[in-house]
Structure 1
Amino acid sequence: MPALEPWTLDVTPTLIITAALATRDFQDVHHDRDAARSRGGRDIFLNILTTTGLVQRYVTDRFPDARVRGIAIRLGTPCFAGDTLTFTGFRVDPGRIAVTGRTAAGAHVTGTVTVEP
């Protein structure tokens, strides 16, 4: 299957914090650097709801007429403030798109998006 056009996103502290608050995730590791570092993180990091939304955006930007019916993802390495997140993907079949989001540390997210074409 032909690869989809990649999407590269600079992950800023503002993106992480505003998206966490918008998804009502008030865990301090998503907005407080000291808390994130005290728990072993390099910095604040994306929450799973934000990652899910970014996966959906990647697919719907490439298939604007498709209706998303499901998203099945698995998180890998954390995506920290200052990272660059690059999404790639391909059509598995007419109703499924495989997506991977990678940082320099490795795969942040892998999964499939089920769409109604």
Structure 2
Amino acid sequence: MTAAAVTGRSFGDVAVGDVLPELAIPLTRTLIVATALATRDFQDVHHDPELARERGSKDVFMNILTSNGLAGRFVTDWAGPFATVRRVKIRLGAPNYPGDTMTMTGEVVSAENGLVEVKVQGANSLGNHLSGTVTVEYPAAVEGKDA
């Protein structure tokens, strides 16, 4: 049995101003409910449409832990298998409701000493759902310092 070579982006491949490819995420009811439950967020506004409406929402909506995870995933899918998430710092805006699509966009705003900061935004038909930054780190060997 042979080991497969792991390939992917390295720190040397990243430059300030790089634009990440957009990622469209369909916002299904299943995604919203399942990820709320998976993150142990049992607030009824994330899984019970009737109670969500009683509390002033038009439907169930995505929880912040899922939004954090999707922001991190968006950046790590682009950054590759060598990058490790060091920080996710986002603010929420318009809710993510079932039946909509959130489109993630990003741009590298800094890259030094193995750390890459990406400005991210996730927008749906109501406006910006999330905005902020995700910072990833590449190990020294991948940067070429210890290679």
TM-score (norm 1): 0.97
Matches within 5 A, 1:90-101: 90-94=107-111, 95-101=116-122
Shift in Å, 1:93 = 1.1
Question: Which runs of no fewer than 5 residues in structure 1 stay unpaired?
Answer: none
Q: Does 1:72 align with 2:92?
A: no
> Which of residues 26, 31, 35 is equivalent to 1:10?
26
Aligned to 1:111: 132
The structure with the larger Rg is 2
Shift in Å, 1:108 = 0.2
Aligned to 2:36: 20
Deviations along 1:64-96, whole A, 9 cap, x unmatched? 121110111000111111111000000001120
Aligned residues: 117
Identity %: 50
TM-score (norm 2): 0.77
Question: Which runs of no fewer than 5 residues in structure 2 stay unpaired?
Answer: 1-16, 139-147
- RMSD of aligned alpha carbons: 0.8
Runs ≥4 in structure 1, deviation > 6 angstroms? none
Q: What one-letter code is carried by the residue in structure 1 that aligns with 2:125? A: A
Shift in Å, 1:2 = 3.0
State the distance in 1 between where 2:58 and 2:22 align: 26
